[in-house]
Copies of this chain bind each other. A is one copy, B any other.
Amino acid sequence: MPAISDSVEALKNTFRSHASGVCVITLLDSDGNPVGFTATSVTSLGANPPLASFNVASGSSTWPSLCKATWVAIHTLGENNQALSMKMSTDHTKRFLDDDWQIGPKGLPIFPEATSVLIAAIREVHSVENNAVVIVDVVEGLSGIEQRPLIYFQRGYLIG
């Protein structure tokens, strides 16, 4: 097998060819305003008790709010949510200007067109270099729109 000796190039080469389900994570900032971002790192961390994890860059616009927040809403996205995914990963000042969200459990901003939503409490945040692993306790959920999954692959979107 051809070797890739540069570690950064090795990482990029692998994650270009690794498919990820797409989620949107929302929360409230310390003034009670909605904030959130698109995440391709959400994964289960066991069902008993129900735990999930996701990664976030500590340079991201949502990071300061995440450090102070108690609750997050994790939305899994599907084939109808590509525009939402793109909106939640670009200009952070424009993410909640449309009327595609509502107030849900714990006062969290919820996008009802998602496939499903988990309401979860932040349990641990482990900073690692310029990023962090966030571990959450799932407390309840919401059922959304049943649809094929939205997948991020080769720097673009696929429908599963």
- A85 CB to nearest chain B CB (Å): 13
CA distance A23 to B120 in the complex (A): 26
Q: Give the A interface residue count (CB, 8 A).
A: 73
CA distance A153 to B79 in the complex (A): 14
Contact B141 A10 (CB under 8 A): yes
Given A15-B44, A18-B42, A133-B133, CB of A144 within 8 Å of CB of B1: yes
Stretch at the interface among A61-69, A91-99, A121-129: A121-129
- A25 CB to nearest chain B CB (Å): 12
Given A44-B55, A149-B19, CB of A50 within 8 Å of CB of B8: yes
Residue in B closest to A142 when the chains form the complex, CB atoms: B1
